[in-house]
Amino acid sequence: MSNKTVVGIVTFGNKEFTKITVNSIKETAKIPVDFFLVIGKPGDTETLEWANSEGIPCKVHETNRGFPASINDIYDYAWKENNYDYLILAGNDIAAYPYAIDQMITLADISDYECVNALQVDVRALVDANPEIAGMFYGPNMIFKRFDERPWDAFKGYSPVLSMDHMKLLDIQNLCLYKKSIMDKVGYTDVAFYPAYFVDNDYARRMVNAGVKSCCLSSARFFHFWSRTLHQGSGGSNGGYFQNNSMYYQGKWGGNFGEETLLPNNLIDTRENEDTIIAYWKNGGKG
C-alpha cells in the first residue's frame, strides 16, 4: 500500500468503459490514489490483461458471484488485507471530473463525515443540455462506441470551491468515499441481493440506521454512462432478479425504499455462508 486511499471498481466486461473510469481519475486527481479491480465476468481476460499492464491489482471471479459479493471483496482488500484510510467505490462506467477525487479526500481529512458522495451528471441529461453530442450515442439505451471522443467534456459545472449538501445519500456506489468506520458500523453488503438490484438501497438504509454521518459534495461531479453492463454488454442479470430483489427488500424492511417499517440488524460482520446464500438467490430464491 503506497497511498491512504484506494479506488475500488467492480467490472463485468466492457473494458473500454473501465479504462475511461480509471484514466479519468488518474487525469484529474492530484492526491495520489491506488486502484483495485474485481473482475466479475468469468473469462474476461481482456480486462485482466489491461489491468496487469497498468499494474492494477485484481481479484478474478471464476463464476458470476454478483455485485454485492464483489463489493465485499473490495472491502476485504481495503480493510482486511490492507489498512487504507479511505475507500472510494467507483462505477465501471463513469468519468470523474476535475476536483472530484481531491475534494472527497480533503473533506474526509478535515471533517468527521464517514461517507462522502459525489454528484452525478447523467448521460441523458447531458445530451439534452448539449444537442451537439447527441450523435455520439445511439438508440434509447444511449449506446456509446466512439471511444476516441470525450462527450462528458461538454459539462463544465464542476468547481474548485468545495460545496456540499448535508446528510444526503444520493449515489453510494458510483463515486463515493467511505471511511473504515463504516465497516465497523455497517459491515458487508447483503449478498442476498444477487446479482445487483436494491443492494445500494439496502446499504444506504443500513448506514442511516447506524448513524453514519454522510454528505453529498455538489462541487464534486462525475459523468455516468448509465448502466453500461446492463445496456451495452453481456449483462449478467435480468428482470426476474429485479422482481425477486424488490420482494426481498420489502420483506426484509417491511416496505419499499422510504416506506420501511422494520428494523433488521444493520451490521453484517461476516462472510460466512456467502456462497450458499449466493447459490440460493442465483436460483431465484429456491432451495
Which pLDDT tens digit goes with each residue over 210-250? 999 999 999 999 999 988 877 666 665 566 788 999 999 99
Average pLDDT along the chain: 93
Among residues 158, 279, 150, which one has the least CA distance to residue 218?
158
CB 120 within 8 A of CB 157: no
For the chain, give percent helix, strand, coil, nearest 5. Answer: 40, 20, 40
Question: Is the link from the previous residue into 195 a cis peptide, with omega within 30 of 0?
Answer: yes
Q: What ranges do the domains of the chain cover?
A: 5-282
Domain 5-282 has CATH 2.40.110.10: no
pLDDT for res 233: 67
Cell representation of residue 188: 458487508
pLDDT for res 168: 75
Q: Indicate whether 32 pLDDT > 90.
A: yes
pLDDT for res 265: 86
- Where helices occur in 60-193 by DSSP H, the ranges are 66-75, 100-110, 123-129, 181-185
86, β-bridge pairs? 5, 179
Percent of the chain having pLDDT more than 70?
95
pLDDT class of 2 with cuts at 50, 70, 90: low
pLDDT, average across residues 69-74: 98
pLDDT in tens, 77-97: 999 999 999 999 999 999 999
Element containing residue 87 per DSSP (H, E) = strand 86-90
pLDDT in tens, 155-212: 999 999 999 877 678 889 999 999 999 999 999 999 999 999 999 999 999 999 999 9
- Where helices occur in the chain by DSSP H, the ranges are 15-28, 45-54, 66-75, 100-110, 123-129, 181-185, 199-209, 228-231, 239-253, 274-282
How many residues in the chain? 287
| Distance of alpha carbon 56 from alpha carbon 18, whole angstroms | 12
